[in-house]
Chains A and B, each alone.
Chain A
């Protein structure tokens, strides 16, 4: 195995993780809101700063991860060292799926969607996209939103939205998605209704 120079994790794992988590909680509680969690000082080339921050804050030996995208060896080694998460071979086994490039995204129905009795046993999808802009784009409504909100996710295809709608129509089963673009992060829990 080739030696990969490992890049550092958080400077202060206790407080950095807490701040990242709160930003993420804010995003998940208020779909369409864009937050910018503080990233670690160094990160693998394939990861956006917001992605790296979320990975360090949430992943550990209890979270099987499915990783997809180009040039993931460095990411994999970095996550293995800093988070210690086990890597799984198929999306449906994953507690978290990290897809660093939309082109590598499988059909959303391939992820675990939970069961009616235990809907929490679903994959949380971490998806790196081109750009996130609030206040324009798709119209969002549902829990966490005062009336309506708008979010523009640059880089995902129309079929993504159709598949997401199909997965979320199975509520309480469904898929929760965390989008990252550079330093920015937004989340769409399964309850958010998305319209063009």
Chain B
């Protein structure tokens, strides 16, 4: 007989018949132990007994399992997808935690203690007391070069990352630049090549020595990995072709920022374009601050 799971009982808040934050306590402990190992071995993908979640695989189940395992009654949660709080999947995940855990929610980056994200890192620099949880579709940065798990596992064990450099160098030879524009591979603490998840490479420099803990969850692929605070994260490059980000030759049409990553909005079928911040909170904060400035100027 295996041990009985303790009857932790349904949470006071939440969905009848389900535990606080949906997962049962045994599953949370398993995920928590995995997270601790991931933190201890930065950039290494720790396999874990990923559970089926009530949202489909590919829709953030890895990030949700991490969030469910770490979040508590004292937390304030922010959920973004493509940088925005109001995209449908972000709304859906927020609703899930609202129903099952009843934790406080915010759209303001500065007010959040845990931020779950898909495809972006917020523009506002994160602090030491925040945790950033990434949703990861394909955790293995070498997968498209080597489909076999048994092989990529060896490559990581031996730090054999030659194939990755060859791939990037072939890009340069053929196109004059590295063509990878998102999910751009990084080297963590000088040891493990890691997939940063499909964030634009624009965001890569933010990962380097970030004061916040970064946790990565891949539910379908059953992997969790981490970058501890202040850990060196270097985007792969070559001496004669250093890593660079693509600056968009525009500024935000709403807040005027020329620092942020911009969404390209097609405004008509005659080539009209508007560029706006993908980070909706950052954009709003800037506009609110701008309003204040305008008002003080008028007074």
Contacts and interface: CB of A to CB of B under 8 A. Distances in A.
A24 B36 contact: yes
A131 interface: no
Contacts of B184: none
A191 B40 contact: yes
B40 A189 contact: yes
Contact of A119 (B28, B41, B230): B41
Main secondary structure of the interface of A (DSSP, over half): loop
Contacts of A25: 32, 35-36, 39, 70, 213
Interface centre among B20, B46, B209, B229 (most CB of A within 10 A): B229
Interface centre among B28, B36, B38 (most CB of A within 10 A): B36
A21 B68 CA distance: 12
B42 interface: yes
A154 B255 CA distance: 55
Interface in A13-35: 13-15, 17-19, 21-22, 24-25, 28-30
Interface string A95-109: 100000000000000
B42 A143 contact: yes
Interface in B126-150: 128
Contact of B228 (A29, A116, A117): A29
Contacts of A14: 8, 11, 19-20, 25
Interface string B266-294: 00000000000000000000000000000
Interface size class of A (residues with CB under 8 A): 35 or more
Interface size class of B (residues with CB under 8 A): 35 or more
Contacts of B211: 146
Interface in A40-67: 57-63
Interface in B27-78: 28-30, 32-42, 44, 46-47, 69-74
Interface in B223-265: 227-231
Interface stretch (B80-88, B151-159, B162-170, B200-208): B151-159
A58 B32 contact: yes
B181 interface: no
Contacts of B296: none
A189 B11 contact: no
A92 interface: no
Interface in A167-186: 171-172, 174, 176
B41 A116 contact: no
B153 A29 contact: no
A188 to B, nearest CB: 9
Interface in A134-159: 142-147
Interface centre among B32, B39, B44, B153 (most CB of A within 10 A): B39
A71 B41 CA distance: 34
- The 9 residue pairs across chains A and B that have the minimum distance between CB atoms: A61-B3, A189-B40, A84-B3, A116-B157, A144-B228, A143-B231, A18-B72, A143-B228, A120-B37
Given A30-B128, A120-B37, 14 more contacts: A15-B20, A17-B29, A18-B71, A21-B32, A30-B228, A30-B229, A58-B32, A60-B26, A120-B44, A144-B230, A146-B209, A172-B192, A189-B39, A189-B41
23 contacts: A13-B8, A13-B25, A14-B8, A17-B25, A18-B72, A18-B73, A19-B74, A24-B36, A30-B229, A57-B32, A58-B29, A58-B32, A61-B3, A62-B26, A62-B29, A117-B154, A117-B157, A119-B44, A124-B37, A143-B229, A172-B44, A176-B36, A190-B40
